[in-house]
Amino acid sequence: MGGIIMLAAYAVVMILVTVFVTRKPKNTLEFHIANRDMGTVQSALSIAATWIWAPALFSSAERAYIQGLAGLFWFLAPNIFCLILFIPFAKKIREYMPQGVTLSGFMGERYGIGAKRVYLFQLSALSILSTGVNLLAGASVLTIITGLPFPLLTIILAAIAYSYSRFSGIKASVITDAVQMVLILAACFLFVPWALRRNGIESLIAGLAGPGNEYGNIFSGKGLDVFLSFGLPAATGLIAGPFGDQNFWQRAFSIRQERIGRAFFLGALAFGIVPLSMGFLGFIARGSGFMVQNTGMVNLELVAGLFPAWATLPFVFMLVSGLLSTVDSNLCAMASLTTDIFPDSGNIAVPRGAMLLNLALGILIANIPGMTITSLFLFYGTLRASTFAPTVMALRGRRIKWVAAGVMVSLAAGLPLFAWGTFASLPLAKAAGSLAALLASGLVSVIGGHREKRA
């Protein structure tokens, strides 16, 4: 009953914040980019909250628990670095396309309809998959707390995210993200010191070494195994993450131009606190000898087993805030992509319809039997890596061509190889698939550019 009340309270708070702090947009452009007038602090909190999706909340704790310092390092470092790396490119796209809305629109304007279509596919697919993994994570937690059926909870979470996102689009997403981020940080600063007080700093130190005391050195034998099986695929997907995610390009187009750098830098720092805190809980669980039933939920199980019963509700509230902050951003990102398909439409019903389509497909993905958070995270990380190289080279002014062909080669080479490595438990195949997805599109695009130059 408490979980149901929590969900209802969460929905009411987010709707009230949206209604009283934002206004109904006058047109679709305001719905998508908020008059390009978003400030530093709210944007930074929104960037951080948007980047806090299911892996940041759950995979960070899981990696710390099963692979010690090596596991958390290879998750945390590229997660923070990628947002900082993104800053000069976010600035550059505003210089090149000051009236832009989407990355696919920018690439289409430069390299033609083929490039626009493959980027639309990649950006849309990422939005749907990301929505699916966050609904999967949220419903997995809530079904334990509330006892409600998993499929029903995926629908409830989707409905909550839509209820406030549909009101004012990106502005609603940013404002609610800022509120959600404050709640998330408050929970981090509550639970980690509390867990240390209960178990002592020695549990944290012991947990750094991981099982068998073999994971405390990221350059050791086990540390290198973690790098190949998890670190390299994760780093590839994470570093490419913002570059293949319309959520962040949409914010680059929406923030006041002179504040883009500060907003993304502060957002990266604020984000880092969260997976680091969840990783600390994983270390403490391992170091204290806490046994878990599901390593993917180690932080939740630790809170439930270590603290009073009431502490579970604010922790779950934090988790739901983190997950839905990404879902509502995905909805706004998908809505903005409709400007590339219906450029002359001024009807807000069109982007709202795209939001509903995103949610419907995300619900279906979340309900696929046997789907796990980490495997889905690595899969769509490989997907978004396919557009990384052409995007970077385009914004750096490099001569490239054959962009559409390059992205398709990346997808055709990288995804099957990565999937084979995942299902066959072959770390080298997974790493090769990630690298193929990251590099092939750039190689083909450069070859095309050189051939055009010679011609």
CA distance 3 to 9: 10
What are the per-10-residue average pLDDT scores of the chain (455 residues)? 73 85 81 90 94 82 89 90 95 94 94 94 93 89 85 93 89 91 92 92 88 73 76 77 93 95 96 94 92 86 88 83 90 94 81 95 91 70 85 91 91 82 76 83 86 62
Using the 8-state DSSP alphabet, how is residue 231 labeled?
Answer: I
Counting other chains too, the contacts that 358-361 makes at CB distance below 8 Å and 24 or more residues apart are 358/127, 358/128, 358/131, 358/330, 358/331, 358/334, 359/131, 359/158, 359/161, 359/162, 359/331, 361/128, 361/131, 361/132
CATH architecture of residue range(s) 2-370:
Up-down Bundle (1.20)
Res 196: pLDDT:
93
Read off the DSSP letter of residue 147. -
Query: How many helices (H) and strands (E) are present in the chain, helices listed first?
Result: 21, 0
Alpha carbon 376 to chain centroid, angstroms? 12
Reading the block at residue 160, the tokens are 């909550």
Q: Are 444 and 386 in contact (CB under 8 A)?
A: no
DSSP-assigned beta bridge partners for residue 270 = none
Count the residues in the chain: 455
Q: Structure tokens of 90?
A: 């976010």
Q: For tokens 């947990």, name the residue.
A: 207
**Predicted local confidence at residue 254, as pLDDT:** 95
Query: So where are the chain's domains?
Result: 2-370, 386-455
CA 55/CA 53 separation, integer angstroms: 6
Write the Ramachandran bin of 100: left for phi over 0, alpha for psi from -120 to 50, otherwise beta.
Answer: beta
Q: Which residues of 104-116 are buried (b: 16+ CB within 10 A; e: fewer)?
A: bbbbbebbeebbb
The pLDDT tens digits of the residues spanning 365-422 come to 999 887 777 667 667 777 888 899 999 999 998 888 899 999 999 988 888 887 787 7
Query: To the nearest 10°, the Cα dihedral for 446, 452, 454, 455?
Result: 160
Query: HSE (CB half, 13 Å, CA atoms) of 170?
Result: 32
